[in-house]
Amino acid sequence: MVKKFAGAQIIVFFFIILISYSTVQNPFSVNYIDGLKEEAVTASKVSDPLFEEIKKESKKYEEKPIDAVVDKVWKAIPGYNGIEVDLEKSYEKMKQQGYFEKQKLVFKEVEPEIHLDDLPPAPIYKGNPEKPMVTLLVNVAWGNEQLPELLKIMNEQQVKSTYFLDGSWVKNNPKLAKMIVEEGHEIGNHAYSHPDMKRLSAARIKEELEKTNDVIYATLEVTPKWFAPPSGSYRQEVVEIADAMNMHTILWSVDTIDWRKPEPQAMVENVLGKVHPGAMILMHPTSSTAAGLEQLIIGLKAKGYQIGTVSHLMDESRLSFGVTLD
């Protein structure tokens, strides 16, 4: 009986060895042969002068990614993707013709190591200065009569913006708030009662932000991820409380000063003279903005800027690869 049991163990042992050999070491197995083919193809590609030329030329077009940083002056600045040549895809596009052609280079984006969310809580005044985009910040706590005109112009110009809504305004004007969302614009938090946030206690700061988020979600089913303090008034604790609620604090780098009701043409010229890549342009639903918005948008586009929401501006993705194949 003992001999039979020992014999069975030996059979099982050899069976396991046979399976292992056939799946891992068997030179006739499909996986093994496919592996050899792949290695041969890789070796052939690497030794191909065309691949080497693509690799050499690719260095001319590389742009390193830019990490997000907290600047001494501008505070938090988002990162920006770099670019590099995708060697594999570029080779695939050229190997049939057998020679290098720079117009057939394929590029890919490279993410930075440090992202906006990796930074300690800090306010944001502008986007990355390498990104040819600007955003229009529309703070809404009044100006109902001008809102339809702003929305109409943005729709005609195919522009999406971020509207920062006062919580009490949303409560009293749910139809207008819904109109903004229906037009495809982004919604931000602008506190509940337009207070001086810098002077509030921590409990009151939290209350202002929470009440606004609650009414915005109840009305629009949207949870803001950006907070714009009324009148730009804040202290570091305000930024930290907003951050704990998963919101970044947004300020601006260019101001229309439209609340002073400037002459529209002068307002537009002033903004266009100060605009820069990554600019965040502050405005309100005033008569000056309504009268000058179309001209402002046309002027921004003429300068080569795309116009997007705060989220789009803060995103690290590139609008274009920005390389010239000379």
Under the banding of pLDDT at 50, 70 and 90, the label for residue 26 is low
Exposure letters 69-92 (e unless 16+ CB within 10 A, then b): beeeebbbbbbbbbbbbbbeebbe
Tens of pLDDT, residues 202-260: 999 999 999 999 999 999 999 999 999 999 999 999 999 999 999 999 999 999 999 99
Tens of pLDDT, residues 44-83: 576 899 999 999 999 999 999 999 999 999 999 999 999 9
What is the predicted pLDDT for the residue at 17?
44
Tens of pLDDT, residues 4-14: 444 545 444 44
DSSP string spanning 28-83?
TSHHHHHHHHHHHHHHHHHH-HHHHHHHHHHGGG-B--B--EEETTTEEE--B-EE
Q: What percent of the chain has pLDDT over 70?
A: 84
Tens of pLDDT, residues 134-146: 999 999 999 999 9
**pTM given for the model:** 0.84
Q: Are 159 and 303 spatial neighbours (Cβ–Cβ below 8 Å)?
A: no
